[in-house]
A and B are shown apart, each in its own frame.
Chain A
Amino acid sequence: MEALLAELREFLTKEFPAWRAKWQDSDTWEAKLDWQRTMAGGRWTTATWPEEFGGRGLGTMEMLAIEDVVAQYGAPQIPGMIGVKNVAPTLMRFGNEEQRKSVARIANTDEFWCQGFSEPGAGSDLASLRTRAVIDGDDFVINGQKVWTSNGMYATHMQLLARTDIDAPKHKGISAIVVPINTPGLEVRPIKQINGGAEFAEVFFTDVRVPVANLIGPLNEGWNVTMTTLGHERAGVAVFAGRLEQRIRNLIEDVSKKDTPVSPVLSDGLAEHYVESRVLGMMGRQMLAKIADGVAPGSESSVIKMVWSELSQRVDTTVMELAGVDGITGDDNAAKSGYLTARSATIAAGTSDIVKNIIGDRVLGLPRD
């Protein structure tokens, strides 16, 4: 591990300032893509991929350590996270020979993938999705609509979940299909969010034709094909826990250095955040220790996700309180946009309400509604 991280530090010490110099303060898409290409060149973004696919064959713990070091350097997150972490592992496992050619192109950003999952009528209840793919000769003909497609505006390809058997139980009639974004009949529109950003898109399908050969894995097995790789994300919440703990330490340090003390109520609120974030951090470290011992994490990831999302949301509310009037004038823009963005913490990747259902049903064994 030490040799690995030393190699990474050497890489970053050389490459990160060079990238900074090239792009200055630019926060553009092109700059971020260039950073992803740089990182891919060192096989750092793809470190958990098997060596035959250009990875290093490393485990979760090594990847988390790599991400920590990258964060210490202040380097940005790569824009193609969904492709690298979710789509490529799915293609490696379930893709045919042609589809597997995409794996290397995902790493170096020649291809940029999104996942077409959520629909207007299928959010928390994803398996009730209704976008149809009907076989017509050698083609699928696709009609329907996707929403909340991350990075949809930049994507070259989509991993689509569509209904291919309307008579089967809802989880059993879904297939995963590769759809190039430039296919005729496909239209992408950005979704403007409450914080002004537009990281998501809605995607409309009108008689979109793609070859049946674009099917990933077996027909009607799209649910399992997709969920297998979603499991890879789980360890990530433990890292979120540690980062929130550090964020609150930093926030308290900033507040303690102010000339005018904050109100006793706000001060107690910060201490409350501190307590909860310390406990969350302890939970995260215990989960990572389990993974390091080769034990698969169980209910911890759901609990950490639930506690993390609610706490991080409250912290952004506190930051807004600390900003006072500057928060509403925009003089403290970080507080303002942080507060707005934090609404998504309890919605994205499973709303808190749904996570509580999952814990109740699967962990505590309570009867389903």
Chain B
Amino acid sequence: MNTSTTTAAERADFRASLRDFLSDTSPESRVREVIASESGLDEATWRGLASDLGVAGLLIPEEFGGQGMGMAEMAVALEEAARAIAVVPLLASGVLATIAIQLADDASANADLLPGLANGSEIMTVALLDGGGVTTTARDENGWSVYGSKTAVLNANIAQRILVVASTPTGTGLFLVDAKASGLVITPQNSLDLTRPTALVTFEGVAATRIGSEFSESLNALNAFGRIAVSAELLGMSEKLMEVAVEYAKTRVQFGKPIGAFQAIKHRCSEMFAHVESMRAAVGSAALVDPTDSVGLHEQALVVKAYCARFAPWVAEATIQVHGGIGFTWEHCAHLYLRRVKTDEILFGDALTCRYQLQQLLGLTA
């Protein structure tokens, strides 16, 4: 992936076309249909995003069929897709798998895998988190085999292939497995987030292809990009929720006036606005960080995630509070956002976890 080179005005145009497209293809009614179908994928929206708008390949160099862009452009796409709570594997496939492959720095893997990801014809996901406290390992037995289990694997049920981060006898490696491979079992989880199902994936000696060599440094970078990416989602959702809450505060009348005239509600809305603007500044700044500056990337990613993971859930919860009873109903959109917000809060470390890492960085703790 490249350093972002577009201007703010160009990104604003890109945002406008994404918002237009998503409001047509992924209105809340469509999101609810897809959720009910349990397919976990809004195919029309994904096709449009991937092939017509080039979003799946934003982070992929042009030589592999992508757009050759950077995180600043991808942050816009993530914000808008999350704003529409679109049921698409943008984070899993377009960001995490795409970045993991490029970080592994394996020329043949780039040539083999990136073109399919760039045009959206292939969906991949990355299995990062060990399940059940057992380390997932890879052994070289005349070819690599993976053992163990991974939890909270995003969009595993629609991925054709899965990238697995596993321990090797000498360190950490990135491995590619087929989702239908023998010994691999995908068990859908009862996920909090209805728009982006997770699964438990178990590996009992699954045949794997190793990509690149030692992956531990790359894993740090992958986690940093992951933090920036979910922060962009948190920003997009918080902005939408604030608008929904403010609109309701203007129209809902109690005690003879719109509830937004009451300071208890007004101040809550103003605080939402302050947090959304803060998130916007933080995401905008982190997404423009030089991707090759590993120290700056690590610090900015922790800062932006620590902020967004703390305040986006606050905005989502405040939105429900402003709505009162209607906000607690299944038919209101607030819980669909709250579920995805809470999920993004946890992915790549919640606020406390990020702050703990910052304490280490700042010399406050050993």
Contact = CB atoms under 8 A, between A and B. Distances in A.
Interface of A: 252-253, 255-256, 261-262, 264, 267-268, 270-272, 274-276, 278-280, 282-283, 285-286, 299-300, 303, 306-307, 353, 355-357, 359-361, 363-369
- The DSSP consensus for interface residues of chain B is helix
Nearest to B265: A366
Given A268-B352, A279-B303, A367 B261 contact: yes
B273 A303 contact: yes
B31 to A, nearest CB: 26
A303 B278 CA distance: 9
- The DSSP consensus for interface residues of chain A is helix
Interface of B: 246, 249-250, 257-258, 260-263, 265-267, 269-271, 273-274, 277-279, 281-282, 284-285, 303-304, 306-307, 310, 351-352, 354-356, 358-359, 362-365
A366 B269 contact: yes
B364 A262 contact: yes
A187 B271 CA distance: 42
A109 to B, nearest CB: 39
A367 B257 CA distance: 9
Nearest to A307: B274
A367 B364 contact: no
Nearest to A276: B307
B365 A283 contact: no
Given A283-B281, A364-B269, A366-B261, A256 B358 contact: no
B282 to A, nearest CB: 5
Contact of B266 (A271, A283, A360): A360
A282 B359 contact: no
B286 to A, nearest CB: 9
B67 to A, nearest CB: 25
Contacts of A267: 359, 364-365
A88 to B, nearest CB: 33
A343 to B, nearest CB: 19
A337 to B, nearest CB: 25
Nearest to A289: B8
Contacts of A306: 270, 274
Determine which residue in A255, A271, A363 has the highest number of CB atoms from chain B within 10 A of its CB, and name it.
A271
B271 A255 contact: no
Determine which residue in A270, A303, A360, A369 has the highest number of CB atoms from chain B within 10 A of its CB, and name it.
A360
Determine which residue in A262, A276, A366 has the highest number of CB atoms from chain B within 10 A of its CB, and name it.
A366
A274 B310 CA distance: 14
Please provide the 3 A-B residue pairs with the shortest distance between their CB atoms, ordered closest to farther.
A256-B363, A360-B266, A366-B260
B261 A368 contact: yes
A364 B261 contact: no
A364 B246 contact: yes
A366 B303 contact: no
Nearest to B257: A367
A273 B265 CA distance: 26
Contacts of A366: 246, 249-250, 258, 260-261, 265-266, 269
